[in-house]
C-alpha cells in the first residue's frame, strides 16, 4: 500500500471512531461471543446486518471499551479499492501506526462489514485470530458468506449467526408500539400494526416508507438477490431460467414443489436445463436466504428426499410486491409468516402427512426436541374447513402421541377439548408475540 492509500485508510479509521453511531432498533436475536472465534452475521441483503454490528460496538462502548480500540471498515467504501484487490494484510499495520502503544498490549475489536468484497479475506482473518489480541466481527451478503463455505475456509475459527428481517415484535419496536401489557387500547393498535406487517413485511428500510416506495424497494431487493447474489455469484449459464424459476417459486409459497415439476416447467418455457442444474440453483436460492424449503417429517431420509418439499420466502412483503395476485390467497401468506417465526427461533421445521394422507402444515422440534403440531388457516368460519382442519390435527396427534396442537387463524380464539386432546385456536398475531 502506498503512502496515499495509507493516509486514506488512517482517515477512515479515525473518522469512524469520531462519529456518532446510528444504532437503530435493538434486535431480539440472541448471540454470544466465544473466545478465539470470529463472529459472522449472515442473512439476506438489507436485513440489518450492518446495524447489528453498530449495536455490538455500542455495547462495547457501554462496557467502557475505548473508541480507539475499535477498528471498523465497510468494504463497500470505494476508497478501499486497493484493499479489496488483496492488500488487506496492511490494515493492521496502518491501525498500529496510529496506536503503536496498543500492539500486543490491549485487545482490539475489529469490525469488517461486507468483507466478501475483499479477495482472500479468509486467510487474513485466520491469521489475525492466531497472532493478534483481538475480537473479530464480520458481516456480508448472505450468498457470499455461506456458513458451509466459511467452516472450510476458516478452519473452525468462526461461528455464524443468522439475521432475518424484522420479526413482528421487532416491527412493533420500530413503530414504537407497546406489546408487553395487553391493554384494550394496545390490543387494537397491535392488530392494526399486524395488518401493516402482513402486507408490508419486515425489511427495516421499508417500515417507515410509503406504500409506493416500499413496493419499489422490495422489488429492487428481489432483483438484487437474483442478479447479484445468485446469477453473478455463480456465473450461471442459464440466467433467464434462474429468474423464471425464482418467480415461479415465490409465486408458489406455502405450496409443494419438486425438482421434476420445476424442470418440466422450465422446459415448457423453452429452457434446456437438467434436473441437476435445477436442484443446484434451488440450493443457491436457499443459500441467499431468499427461499426456504421444508421436508416431509419422517424418520426415513430416503422418504424425506423422495417426497415434494414446501417452499417459503424470506418476507411476505416481498412476495406481495413481486407477485401482487397472491394477495387473493391470504392463507398462504399467513402460513409463510408463521414459518418465518418458527425458522427465526432455530426450530427444526417440517410438514406432516398422516397415514391416511391428510396434510398438516407444520410439525417442528423446539430446542428441547419437543414436538409441536400446527395448522394455519385464514378462517374457520366455514364448517367444512373447520371439520377438515380439526380432523387432520386429531389424527396427527394420535399418530404422534401428542396431547395438544394449534390452529393459527387471522383473528379467531378458541380452545377445543375432545377426549384427552386439546386444540388451541389462536390469532396469528398473538402467536407471533410468543417467545
For CA atoms 140, 143, 144, 150, the dihedral sign is positive
Cell of 55: 449495536
How far apart CA 312 and CA 130 sit, in angstroms, is 40
How far apart CA 422 and CA 416 sit, in angstroms, is 6
Strands 255-257 and 309-313: antiparallel
Average pLDDT, the chain: 93
For the stretch 379-416, pLDDT in tens is 999 999 999 999 999 999 999 999 999 999 999 999 99
Per-residue pLDDT tens digits of the chain, which is 435 residues long? 676 589 999 999 999 999 998 889 999 988 888 988 999 998 999 999 999 999 999 999 999 999 999 999 999 899 998 888 877 889 999 999 999 999 999 999 999 998 888 888 888 999 999 999 999 999 987 555 655 556 566 667 888 899 999 999 999 999 999 999 889 999 999 999 999 999 999 999 999 999 999 999 999 999 999 998 899 878 788 999 999 999 999 999 999 999 999 999 999 999 999 999 999 999 999 988 999 999 999 999 999 999 999 999 999 999 999 999 998 899 999 999 999 999 999 999 999 999 999 999 999 999 999 999 999 999 999 999 999 999 999 999 999 999 999 999 999 999 999 889 999 999 999 999 987
* b/e code 366-394 from CB counts within 10 Å (16+ = b): eeeeeebbbbbbbebeeeeebeebbebbb
How far apart CA 103 and CA 354 sit, in angstroms, is 63
CATH 3.40.50.300 range(s) for the chain read 3-163
Domain 3-163: state its class.
alpha beta
How far apart CA 268 and CA 128 sit, in angstroms, is 52
Amino acid at each position: 500500500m502506498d503512502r496515499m492509500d495509507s493516509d486514506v485508510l488512517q482517515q477512515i479509521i479515525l473518522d469512524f471512531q469520531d462519529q456518532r453511531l446510528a444504532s437503530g432498533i435493538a434486535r431480539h436475536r440472541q448471540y454470544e461471543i466465544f473466545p478465539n472465534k470470529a463472529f459472522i452475521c449472515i442473512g439476506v441483503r438489507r436485513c440489518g446486518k450492518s446495524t447489528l454490528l453498530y449495536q455490538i460496538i455500542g455495547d462495547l462502548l457501554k462496557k467502557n471499551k475505548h473508541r480507539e480500540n475499535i477498528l471498523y471498515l465497510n468494504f463497500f467504501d470505494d476508497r478501499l479499492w486497493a484493499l479489496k484487490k488483496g492488500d488487506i494484510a496492511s490494515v493492521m499495520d496502518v491501525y498500529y501506526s496510529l496506536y503503536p502503544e496498543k500492539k500486543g498490549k490491549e485487545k482490539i475489536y475489529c469490525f469488517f462489514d461486507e468483507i466478501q468484497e475483499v479477495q482472500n479475506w479468509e486467510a487474513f482473518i485466520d491469521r489475525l485470530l492466531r497472532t493478534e489480541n483481538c475480537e473479530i466481527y464480520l458481516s456480508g451478503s448472505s450468498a457470499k458468506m455461506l456458513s458451509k463455505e466459511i467452516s472450510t475456509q476458516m478452519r473452525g475459527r468462526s461461528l455464524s449467526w443468522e439475521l432475518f428481517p424484522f420479526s413482528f415484535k421487532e416491527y412493533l419496536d420500530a413503530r414504537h408500539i407497546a406489546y408487553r401489557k395487553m391493554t384494550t387500547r394496545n390490543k387494537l393498535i397491535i392488530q392494526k400494526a399486524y395488518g401493516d406487517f402482513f402486507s408490508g413485511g419486515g425489511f427495516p428500510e421499508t417500515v417507515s416508507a410509503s406504500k409506493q416506495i416500499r413496493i419499489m424497494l422490495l422489488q429492487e431487493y428481489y432483483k438484487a438477490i437474483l442478479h447479484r447474489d445468485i446469477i453473478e455469484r455463480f456465473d450461471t449459464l442459464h440466467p433467464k431460467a434462474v429468474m423464471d424459476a425464482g418467480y415461479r417459486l415465490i409465486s408458489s409459497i406455502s405450496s409443494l414443489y419438486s425438482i421434476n415439476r420445476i424442470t418440466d416447467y422450465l422446459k415448457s418455457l423453452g429452457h434446456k436445463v437438467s434436473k441437476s442444474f435445477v436442484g443446484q440453483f434451488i440450493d443457491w436460492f436457499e443459500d441467499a436466504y431468499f427461499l426456504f424449503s421444508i421436508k416431509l417429517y419422517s424418520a426415513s431420509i430416503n422418504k424425506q428426499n423422495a417426497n415434494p418439499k414446501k417452499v417459503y420466502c424470506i418476507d411476505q412483503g416481498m412476495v406481495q410486491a413481486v407477485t401482487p395476485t397472491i394477495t387473493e390467497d391470504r392463507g398462504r401468506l399467513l402460513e409463510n409468516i408463521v414459518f418465518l417465526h418458527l425458522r427465526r427461533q432455530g426450530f427444526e421445521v417440517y410438514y406432516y402427512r398422516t397415514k391416511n394422507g391428510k396434510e398438516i402444515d407444520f410439525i417442528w422440534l423446539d430446542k428441547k426436541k419437543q414436538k409441536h403440531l400446527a395448522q394455519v388457516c385464514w378462517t374457520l368460519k366455514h364448517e367444512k374447513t373447520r371439520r377438515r382442519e380439526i380432523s387432520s390435527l386429531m389424527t396427527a396427534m394420535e399418530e404422534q402421541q401428542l396431547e395438544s396442537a394449534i390452529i393459527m387463524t387471522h383473528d379467531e380464539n378458541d380452545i377445543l377439548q375432545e377426549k384427552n386432546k386439546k386444540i388451541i385456536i389462536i390469532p396469528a398475531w398473538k402467536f407471533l408475540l410468543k417467545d
